[in-house]
Structure 1
Amino acid sequence: MRIVFAGTPPVAVPTLDALVDAGHEIVAVVTRPDAPVGRRRRLTPSAVAARAAELGLPIVHATALGADETARIATLAPELGVIVAYGGLVREPLLSTPAHGWINLHFSLLPRWRGAAPVQRALMAGERTTGVSVFTLEEGLDTGPLHLQREVPIGDGETADELLERLGVDGADDVRAAVDAIAAGTASPSPQLGEPTTAAKLTTADGHIDWRGPADVVHARIRGVTSEPGASSALGDGRLKILRAGRPDDDLARLAPSALGPGEVVWAGKRVLVGTGDRPLELLEVQPPGKRPMRAADWLRGVADGRAVLS
């Protein structure tokens, strides 16, 4: 098929590769413009743009898909649009420009977690399973009928970054199967069933850790906001970034001081523990203000009295 592909971050690259490997003609790759990255704010192409350049595919850089982009895509006469985490909305008349419309790879079991951050919100909610859904794009937010849907277990301690990477690889095969069915004329999408929930885009405030909550809830939030927007807590006049914490373990409660309060950080042998509302968590990797990421043990060795309080 003649396909226009829209995507931006690394999670979209496996689908682009799968479509190329399947022999489809990618008439254009739509992605966000180069963005400043790192301390030097150097303009850097998106992961999808970089891969498209390697493959020799035509690239359309766009922050929004308006009239100009629609006209440009229309001249290419695509038969199908495929979108994976592009970062912008596809509206009419672009929705109807490809002969077979658009399909979207979404990282949840729709209608659960419709919206911008389905993986992050699922982890923050403490869920043990998620999934991938391939659906027909409509004007509504992730409301279209389903071509394929598959449940995927969430690994113990898996962060949002790790889970997204895995789902991006898994979902690429599902998109390829859906495209093959559309090309063969055998596709038969079905309506979404169940109670919808919304996965709102995360903000910096979502990354603030309230240590007064139960350890399971705190750990789930840390995993869900890693690496964006990132977990952090106030430490003196700055903020300590929490890059990784061990999953709740009943054995830690026996190692920790009995009076360990929420947010208190102490040594327990060679391990660094932080108190929560019920039982301690182990801090594994942190980033102090103005410094590089480091092991929590190396950070705490440099703290006076070997104790700290996060809030």
Structure 2
Amino acid sequence: MRVVFAGTPDPAVPSLERLIASDKHDVVAVITRPDAASGRGRTVGRSPVGRLADEHGIPVLSPHRPSDPDFLDALIALDPDVCPVVAYGALLPRPVLNVPKFGWINLHFSLLPAWRGAAPVQAAIAAGDDVTGASTFLLEEGMDTGPVLGVVTESVKPTDTAGDLLARLAVSGAELLEATLNAIEAGEASAIAQSEDGVSYAHKVTVESARIDWTSSAAAVDRHVRSVTPAPGAWTTIGDTRLKVAPVSLSDVELEPGRILVRKDGVFVGTATRAVLLGDIQPQGKKLMKALDWARGARLTETAVAL
């Protein structure tokens, strides 16, 4: 089949790699978001998917808006049989959705209809789900509402960060996406409408929403921190200092929510239940360091509180 692949960030790369290596599918072009600034130096560069396409000499389309007439004309000229999409990052209008013969096949990192939306992996960890997965489905104009073509499950480990879990799902999801396209080509695919039961939404994670709420339980704080690691990163403030907080550990220490205790064995912060033990922290403008090293240097008092 003639394939035009749409995707942008690192989690989409394993899927494109599998399709490029496949002897059943011909990736004739890639669609990705326009070059953007990233990193501390704000250097403008190609997306991970765009870089992979460049390495293999695959033409790249980077429309500022998928509704641009020039983009629609270019897509029609490519005459794709199917357009797989993984974390592309922009909504596709109906004229674009109508172009490929077999439609747009989206790989979404949840077991639909659970966690429709922008941040399904983060939401699954924050909610304490034991099992999540990935789904392939036929893209339509609704938010992740199309009929499901295939699923793969993945256990959520107690120490998983969003980065850990997404890395595994990117690999297992790539295999699922290739299998789905193979089934479509063989005429063996079966699309099943999503149930109206069990629908949940995973809203976009922002820097503000990544702030730690110390009035939550210790378990909730632990899940929250892991759900926003590595990006955008959990954070709190102590006095005038803003700190990014790496994954924490549960403890048996009892402290009032936000109250800080510095001992020889670590830095503890109170929650609504029991305190958590801080691991690494990163003061704004500085490098990652052990929480205890920072606390000693900052000379925290017994009245210090995390907000």
Q: Same fold, TM exceeding 0.5?
A: yes
d(CA) in 2 for partners of 1:59, 1:295? 43
User: 3-state DSSP class of the match of 1:309?
Assistant: coil
- 2:200 is the alignment partner of 1:197: yes
**Contiguous gaps of at least 5 residues in structure 1:** none
Q: Could you tell me which amino acid in structure 1 is paired with residue 269 of structure 2?
A: V
Listed as ranges, the matches of 1:215-226 within 5 Å are 215-226=218-229
d(CA) in 2 for partners of 1:62, 1:125? 35
d(CA) in 1 for partners of 2:59, 2:293? 48
- After alignment, is 58-67 or 170-179 more displaced? 58-67
Q: Could you tell me which amino acid in structure 2 is paired with residue 267 of structure 1?
A: V
- 2:237 is the alignment partner of 1:241: no
Q: CA RMSD in A?
A: 1.4
TM superposition score normalised by structure 1: 0.93
Q: Which runs of 4+ in 1 moved over 4 A?
A: none
Q: Displacement, 1:305?
A: 4.4
Residue 265 (structure 1) aligns with: 260
Q: Percent identity?
A: 44
Q: Displacement, 1:234?
A: 1.7
- After alignment, is 296-305 or 145-154 more displaced? 296-305
Q: For 1:5-28, what per-residue CA distance to the aligned partner results, in whole angstroms no more than 9, with x for missing partners?
A: 000100000000111111221111
d(CA) in 1 for partners of 2:296, 2:37? 35
- 2:114 is the alignment partner of 1:112: yes
d(CA) in 1 for partners of 2:118, 2:37? 22
- 2:293 is the alignment partner of 1:292: no
d(CA) in 2 for partners of 1:303, 1:142? 47
Q: Could you tell me which amino acid in structure 1 is paired with residue 152 of structure 2?
A: R
- 2:301 is the alignment partner of 1:310: no
Q: Could you tell me which amino acid in structure 2 is paired with residue 300 of structure 1?
A: A
d(CA) in 1 for partners of 2:263, 2:165? 30
The number of aligned residues is 303
TM superposition score normalised by structure 2: 0.94
Residue 217 (structure 2) aligns with: 214
Listed as ranges, the matches of 1:1-311 within 5 Å are 1-23=1-23, 24-66=25-67, 67-193=69-195, 194-246=197-249, 248=250, 252-253=251-252, 256=253, 258=254, 260-305=255-300, 308-311=304-307
Structure 1 contact 29–60 (Cα < 8 Å) conserved: yes
Q: Could you tell me which amino acid in structure 1 is paired with residue 48 of structure 2?
A: A
Structure 1 contact 15–172 (Cα < 8 Å) conserved: yes
User: 3-state DSSP class of the match of 1:147?
Assistant: strand
Q: Could you tell me which amino acid in structure 2 is paired with residue 209 of structure 1?
A: I
- After alignment, is 143-152 or 75-84 more displaced? 143-152
**Contiguous gaps of at least 5 residues in structure 2:** none
Q: For 1:116-158, what per-residue CA distance to the aligned partner results, in whole angstroms no more than 9, with x for missing partners?
A: 1111111111212111100011111111111101221101111
User: 3-state DSSP class of the match of 2:80?
Assistant: coil
d(CA) in 2 for partners of 1:284, 1:238? 17
d(CA) in 2 for partners of 1:159, 1:57? 33
